[in-house]
């Protein structure tokens, strides 16, 4: 089985996670895919295969060298984003992309155009996997899983490539910020690891956002509109007032680079009650803490205006910027850079405007930067995957394994 067939098999599985669940995994369908992957790893000849009740899957490719090579790992997540449907994905391969518009869906007229997504032009002449315009593709992060599994197969097919013990880990619920919460770092047993969860070719990231989530409940008082003066408290209107207190300069659509933001994920309500959820992001830890305090102050102001406990707010941390944990072990980055350079790939070391499971794992004692998997335009129907990019991700993993075997020479 080649890497393309492997990926296309993976996206047949709907693995969308859910923010509303209190279980791990957040959706049972992720376990269905995890069991399929477990069987595939067995067929691929890996050892120590372990799928736990929470949907975390671990396995080992034993080393083939007498050198004292560090044990390293590669990690990807099984879930897809709640932002778009991951059910009944119908991928299509566009052969030798010509640089023009790609019609995704004839019925709706949805088009993937380089005028809107100029990244396409960097892959002119390549074979691209695209959606049918009704779902996301799932390259985030099934391209990462395919790259890891194919790399393990490649290493077994090429015993002349020396490597130490290689661990692989696949987890649920990364897209809702919970992927690493129950990841067993001790069981994984690595000196360091890499998440294969990035975008375009060459991306290498060891800085990410500090991240928090916010859940807000607004309690209103519903009375007849004809007799509402001095009595009605309209929860839905207060929700819109709260959103309007967020600076327009601090939204995802108005920020870039190292700029942080507040993002309204969900709003539902009526006069009697309303519910809202936000995510808060900033690379700078002090600014991150200030953003969380700002949200709490908004709630306090609205309670002062409308009455005690009208607005209740919960702010909870999700992950932190892994830079402070990776910088002391920069050989982890140096090896990845050298691997790419030896493959003719130009490394693009940059900060993530997002996060990965590696951020949490780094704070739990497993330094874990992020490497590209090849997909572009995640979390929606415009997602696409250049096939050569996924293949280069696979070969980068192979080369890292080879270079790590020489680490203690």
Domain with residue 64: its CATH number is 3.40.630.10
Please report where in the chains the tokens 């992309």 appear, as a residue.
97
297, 318, 339 - which closes a domain: 318
pLDDT for the residue numbered 407: 87
User: What is the reported pLDDT for 196?
Assistant: 97
| Residue 194, CA distances (Å) to 59, 78, 227, 401 in order | 15, 15, 62, 11
Residues forming the active site: 79, 174
- Is the backbone peptide bond immediately before 141 cis, with ω within 30 degrees of 0? yes
Whichever domain contains 220, its CATH number is 3.30.70.360
Shared domain for 93 and 238, answered yes or no, is no
| Backbone region of residue 55 per phi and psi (left: phi > 0; alpha: psi in -120 to 50; beta: other values) | left
Kindly state whether residues 164 and 67 are assigned to the same domain: yes
Number of Cβ within 10 Å of residue 114's Cβ equals 17
Residues 284 and 226 in one domain: yes
pTM for the whole thing? 0.85
Instruction: Give the pLDDT score at 346.
Output: 97
Per-residue pLDDT tens digits for 92-111: 999 999 999 999 999 999 99
Number of domains in the chain: 2
14 and 138 fall within a common domain: yes
17 in the same domain as 139:
yes
Q: Please report the pLDDT score of residue 140 as a whole number.
A: 95
| Residues 260 and 199 reside in one and the same domain | no
When computed from its CA atoms, the radius of gyration of the chain, rounded to whole angstroms, is 23
Query: Could you read off the pLDDT of 288-322 as tens digits, one per residue?
Result: 999 999 999 999 999 999 999 999 999 999 889 99
Q: Would you state the pLDDT for residue 357?
A: 84
274 and 389 share one domain: no
The mean of the pLDDT values for the chain is 96
Positions of the chain with pLDDT lower than 50, given as ranges = none
Residue 58's pLDDT is 98
Strand partners, 74: 168, 194
Same domain, 18 and 167: yes
With contact defined as beta carbons under 8 Å apart, do 274 and 217 qualify? Answer: yes
* Per-residue pLDDT at 355: 76
Sign for the pseudo-dihedral over CA of 294, 295, 300, 304: positive
Kindly state the DSSP code that residue 241 receives in the 8-state scheme: H
Q: What is the pLDDT of residues 114-129, one digit of tens each?
A: 999 999 999 999 999 9
Task: Check residue 35 and give its pLDDT.
Answer: 98
DSSP lists the bridge partners of residue 398 as none
Tell me what pLDDT residue 288 has.
98
Paired with 221 in beta bridges are: 233
The confidence score (pLDDT) of residue 408 equals 78
Torsion sign over Cα 108, 200, 122, 5: negative
The parent domain of residue 398 ranges over 3-208+321-405
Per the document, the length of the chain is 409
């Amino acid at each position: 089985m080649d890497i393309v067939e492997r990926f296309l098999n993976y996206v047949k599985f709907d693995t969308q996670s859910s923010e509303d669940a209190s279980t791990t995994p957040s959706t049972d369908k992720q376990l269905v895919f995890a069991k399929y992957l477990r069987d595939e790893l067995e067929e691929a000849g890996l050892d120590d295969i372990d799928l736990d009740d929470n949907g975390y899957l671990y396995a080992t490719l034993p080393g083939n060298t007498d050198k004292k090579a560090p044990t390293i790992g590669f990690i990807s997540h099984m879930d897809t984003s709640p932002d778009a449907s991951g059910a009944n994905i119908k991928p299509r391969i566009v052969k030798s992309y010509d640089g023009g518009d790609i019609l995704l869906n004839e019925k709706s007229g949805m088009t993937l155009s380089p005028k809107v997504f100029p990244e396409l032009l960097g892959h002119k002449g390549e074979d691209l996997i695209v959606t049918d315009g009704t779902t996301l593709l799932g390259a985030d992060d099934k391209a990462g899983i395919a790259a890891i599994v194919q790399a393990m197969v490649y290493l077994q097919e090429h015993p002349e490539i020396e490597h130490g013990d290689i661990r692989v880990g696949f987890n649920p619920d990364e897209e809702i910020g919970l992927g690493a919460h129950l990841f067993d770092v001790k069981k994984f047993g690595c000196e360091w690891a890499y998440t294969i969860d990035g975008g375009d070719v060459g991306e290498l990231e060891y800085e990410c956002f500090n991240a928090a989530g916010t859940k807000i409940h607004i309690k209103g008082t519903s009375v007849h509109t004809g007799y509402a003066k001095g009595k009605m408290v309209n929860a839905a209107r207060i929700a819109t007032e709260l959103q309007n207190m967020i600076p327009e300069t601090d939204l995802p659509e108005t920020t870039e680079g190292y700029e942080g933001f507040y993002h309204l994920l969900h709003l539902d309500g009526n006069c009697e009650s309303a519910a809202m959820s936000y995510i808060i992001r900033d690379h700078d830890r002090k600014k991150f803490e200030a953003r969380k305090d700002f949200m709490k102050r908004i709630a306090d102001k609205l309670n002062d205006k409308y009455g005690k406990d009208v607005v209740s707010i919960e702010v909870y941390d999700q992950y932190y910027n892994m830079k402070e944990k990776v910088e002391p072990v920069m050989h982890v980055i140096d090896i990845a850079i050298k691997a790419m350079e030896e493959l003719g790939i130009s490394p693009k070391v940059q900060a993530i405007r997002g996060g990965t499971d590696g951020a949490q794992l780094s704070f739990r004692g497993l330094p874990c930067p992020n490497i590209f998997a090849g997909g572009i335009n995640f979390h929606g129907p415009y997602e696409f995957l250049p096939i050569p990019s996924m293949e280069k991700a696979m070969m980068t993993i192979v080369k890292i394994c080879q270079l790590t075997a020489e680490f203690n020479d």
